[in-house]
A and B are shown apart, each in its own frame.
Chain A
């Protein structure tokens, strides 16, 4: 069971994806082509990373002629998302602790 907050964390856990997002944040906007020019990965790879970021709600795509321009969406971030992910991780740890105690002979 993954929550939207977790999707955000999964999206950010990949270093290249994080660089894609950081570049977008710094530049204000970008296309797969402009981002690929600044990163050591192919345009196709950037397109895939943008799709993951899009699913997590971290970028917004806007079609302009033949190009798709991306901007960063900050709403999924912030304290709230951090809390949610941290809390989910805490519950996982607690459930595992209960399981261990329960299964001790």
Chain B
């Protein structure tokens, strides 16, 4: 029922070299991803650190680096600040693909591996416990959220 991946893309009026720099250089990543800086050791297996002023720190691990075309890493998006080493089961895979399009760039991001995250016992217990009354309260909250997203 829950999809295992999210796919998003955007067309940018800038060359792939510039988009690549924004995606992979820590000084830039700290501006569009975290808001309190980042560290990236740009090689397969290299460590990544993403910092947020209010949410703390997330850790990632670089998977693939193909200059100007592909960059991927694993990270644990739902771990508490302090973060664990991102492994299968506690992390998702984020893959960026850059394609030259005229003078611009098509940037695509796929984040996958959610199904394994969601298969936790806690989640199943939560679903199993949800009685009708609790569900009505939940859907109310969900609706407010949905309206924000759809807006």
Residues on A lying within 8 angstroms of B by beta carbon are 1, 3-6, 8-10, 12-13, 15, 18, 21-22, 25-26, 28, 57, 72, 74-89, 91-92, 94-99, 101-103
Instruction: Specify which of A21, A81, A82, A94 is in contact with B33 (CB 8 Å cutoff).
Output: A94
Number of A-B residue pairs, CB cutoff 8 Å, is 131
Known A12-B142, A77-B142, A79-B123; contact A22-B12, beta-carbon cutoff 8 A? no
Query: A4 to B116, alpha carbons, bound, how many Å?
Result: 17
How many chain B residues sit at the interface, stated as a range, is: 35 or more
- The secondary structure that dominates the B interface is helix
**B79 interface residue, CB < 8 Å from A?**
no
Would B22 and A81 count as touching, CB distance under 8 A? no
**B138 interface residue, CB < 8 Å from A?**
yes
Instruction: Specify which of A22, A74, A80 is in contact with B114 (CB 8 Å cutoff).
Output: A80
